Amino acid sequence: MTPAAGPPAVAPLAPRSWSPLIIASEYCKGCDLCVAACPKGVLVLDGTAVNRLGYHPVRLTDPAGCTSCAFCARVCPDAVFIVLAAPKGALRR
């Protein structure tokens, strides 16, 4: 019932360690909708992990392939994603 503290503040990152998605895996219910929505096919449910809720959470397979289009975030019922746009020159890890 307390208001959301919001996602962790996004700190400046060194170009090399940068990823376009921050995934709050513990919220993920493995519904697969983001996987279906991603035009780049860079999301997958991680069959090897189980989160607190008992689901296989989503995983970004290829940060470099992600265009930050945020389709995944728009379809996600559990608001799992923070999507960042690439700072110029950043390498997607």
Rounded Cα distance between 93 and 62, Å, is 8
**20 close to 83: Cβ distance less than 8 angstroms:** yes
Selected binder of ligand SF4 within 69, 82, 84, 86 (CB under 6 A): 69
Interaction partner, residue 25 (ligand SF4, another protein, none; CB < 5-8 Å by kind): none
Q: What pairs with residue 43 in β-bridges?
A: 60
Q: Which of 44, 61, 67, 84 binds ligand SF4 (CB under 6 A)?
A: 67
Backbone conformation region of residue 61, classed left if phi is above 0, alpha if psi is from -120 to 50, else beta: alpha
Smallest distance from the beta carbon of 23 to another protein, in angstroms?
11
CB-nearer residue toward another protein: 18 or 44: 18
